[in-house]
Structure 1
Amino acid sequence: MKDKGLFLLRKLYRLTDNIAFYPSLLAVLGFIFTYIMIYLEEKGISKYLLETFPALVINNTETARSLLTTFIGGLISIMVFSFSMVMILLNQASSNFSPRLLPGLISNRRHQVILGFYIATILYCIFILVYIEPNGDKYQLPGFAVLFAILFMVNCLAAFIYFIHSISQEIQINNIMDKIFNISKRRMLYLIDHEKYSEDDFPDTKNWHKYNSEKSGYLQNVSLENIAKIAKAQDTKIDVVVIKGLFISEKNTLFTSETALDDDTIKKITEHFDFSKSELIEDNYVLAFKQITEVAVKAMSPGINDPGTALNAIDYLSQLFSLRIQKNDKSQAYIDDIPYVSVATVNFKVLIFQVMAELRTYCKHDVVIVEKLLIMLYHLKGIVKVDNKKYLEIINDEIESLIVDAEKAITNVRDLEYVKSIY
Structure 2
Amino acid sequence: MVRLLEIPRTLWRKALEYWRKLKVRVALMGALAVLAMALTQPVGWLLPEELQTRLAGEAADRLLDIIANAMLAVTTFSLTVMVAVFNNVSSQWTPRIHRLAMQDEVTLHTLATFIGAWVYALMGIVLRELGVFPDDGATVLFAMTVLVLSYVGWSLIRWVLHLQTFGSLLASTRQVEEITCQGLRQRFETPCLGAEPFTGDAPERARRMTSRSTGYVQRIYEEALNAWCEDHDLTLWLLVMPGDFVSLHVPLVAVEGDLPDGAQDRLAELIVLGDVRVHEQDPRFGLLVLSEIGTRALSPGINDPGTAIDVITRGERILSLYSDETRGDEVIYPQLRVRPMDPQDLIEDLIDPIARHGAGDLDVQIQVQRVLASLSRHPDTGLAEAAAEARARAGRRALDQLEFDHDRARLEKHIAA
- Sort the TM-score into its range (normalised by shorter chain): 0.7 to 0.9
Aligned match of 1:145: 141
Does the 8 Å contact 1:15/1:21 carry over to 2? Answer: yes
Aligned match of 1:412: 404
Q: 2:288 aligns with which of 280, 285, 290?
A: 290
Q: 1:261 aligns with which of 259, 262, 265?
A: 259
TM-score (norm 1): 0.84
Mean Cα displacement is larger for which, 103-112 or 19-28?
103-112
Q: Tell me the SS of whatever aligns to 1:303.
A: coil
Does the 8 Å contact 2:197/2:325 carry over to 1? Answer: no
CA-CA distance at 1:267 after TM superposition: 4.3
CA-CA distance at 1:285 after TM superposition: 0.9
Distance in 1 of aligned mates of 2:127 and 2:258: 67
CA-CA distance at 1:96 after TM superposition: 2.0
CA-CA distance at 1:398 after TM superposition: 1.8
Cα distance change on mapping 1:243 and 1:86 into 2, 3 Å: same
CA-CA distance at 1:210 after TM superposition: 1.0
Aligned match of 2:373: 378
Letter in 2 for 1:28: A
Mean Cα displacement is larger for which, 176-185 or 20-29?
176-185
Given the alignment of the two structures, is residue 369 of structure 1 paired with residue 364 of structure 2, yes or no?
Answer: yes
TM-score (norm 2): 0.85
Q: Tell me the SS of whatever aligns to 1:170.
A: coil
> What whole-Å deviation, never above 9, does each CA across 1:253-289 have from its counterpart, x for those lacking one?
1111234534344544443223344433232111110
Name stretches of at least 5 consecutive residues in structure 1 with no aligned partner. Answer: none
Aligned match of 1:29: 32
Cα distance change on mapping 1:412 and 1:118 into 2, 3 Å: same
CA-CA distance at 1:391 after TM superposition: 5.0
Mean Cα displacement is larger for which, 356-365 or 339-348?
339-348
Distance in 1 of aligned mates of 2:242 and 2:33: 39
Aligned match of 1:157: 153
CA RMSD of aligned residues (A): 3.4
> What whole-Å deviation, never above 9, does each CA across 1:374-393 have from its counterpart, x for those lacking one?
111111111145xx4x6555
Aligned match of 1:340: 335
Does the 8 Å contact 1:177/1:292 carry over to 2? Answer: yes
Distance in 1 of aligned mates of 2:404 and 2:182: 43
> What whole-Å deviation, never above 9, does each CA across 1:303-336 have from its counterpart, x for those lacking one?
3332222211101111222223x23379899479
Aligned match of 2:248: 250
Letter in 2 for 1:361: R
CA-CA distance at 1:25 after TM superposition: 0.3
Aligned match of 2:325: 328
Cα distance change on mapping 1:368 and 1:157 into 2, 3 Å: same
Distance in 2 of aligned mates of 1:248 and 1:84: 37
Distance in 2 of aligned mates of 1:247 and 1:46: 66
Q: 2:237 aligns with which of 223, 236, 239?
A: 239
Cα distance change on mapping 1:201 and 1:225 into 2, 3 Å: farther
Cα distance change on mapping 1:139 and 1:227 into 2, 3 Å: closer
Q: 1:401 aligns with which of 380, 393, 405?
A: 393
Does the 8 Å contact 2:2/2:224 carry over to 1? Answer: no
Equivalent residues in 2 for 1:48-87 (5 A)? 48-49=50-51, 54=54, 57=55, 59=56, 61=58, 64-87=60-83
Name stretches of at least 5 consecutive residues in structure 2 with no aligned partner. Answer: none
Distance in 2 of aligned mates of 1:374 and 1:317: 13
Distance in 2 of aligned mates of 1:108 and 1:191: 22
Distance in 2 of aligned mates of 1:236 and 1:136: 61
Aligned match of 2:114: 118
Cα distance change on mapping 1:345 and 1:220 into 2, 3 Å: farther
Aligned match of 2:314: 316
Q: Tell me the SS of whatever aligns to 1:168.
A: coil
CA-CA distance at 1:231 after TM superposition: 3.9
